[in-house]
Amino acid sequence: MTISDVIVMGREALWISVLLAGPLLAGILLAGVVIGIVQAATSIQEMTLSFVPKLIFIVVALLLIGNWQITLFIDYIERIFLLIPVMLQ
């Protein structure tokens, strides 16, 4: 296994991380901005008002894209495991 192979594996690992975490983090960010604007407009500064919608969003998002995320992660892990014999040579 060469250095370029390690770099490719590292790049792929980072890309998989972005694909797994990106949609959830982007959704939470969007929900937080919307909730922050509503809180600023109404002068309501209740902490649960910002926490509960984000939690609901995460649950719904995981129900919608969780299967895709698990499939993506399992495929990546299988590719890594198949490379173990190549790495040991």
**Angle, helices 47-82/3-42, rounded to nearest 10 degrees:** 170
pTM here is 0.78
Q: 5 lies in a domain?
A: no
pLDDT digits (tens, 9 = 90+) for 50-61: 888 899 999 999
In a domain? residue 2: no
Percent of the chain with pLDDT over 90: 64
Contact 6, 48 (CB under 8 A): no
21 belongs to a structural domain: yes
Name the residue range of residue 22's domain.
13-87
25-49 residue pLDDT tens: 999 999 999 998 998 898 888 877 8
Q: In total, how many domains does the chain have?
A: 1
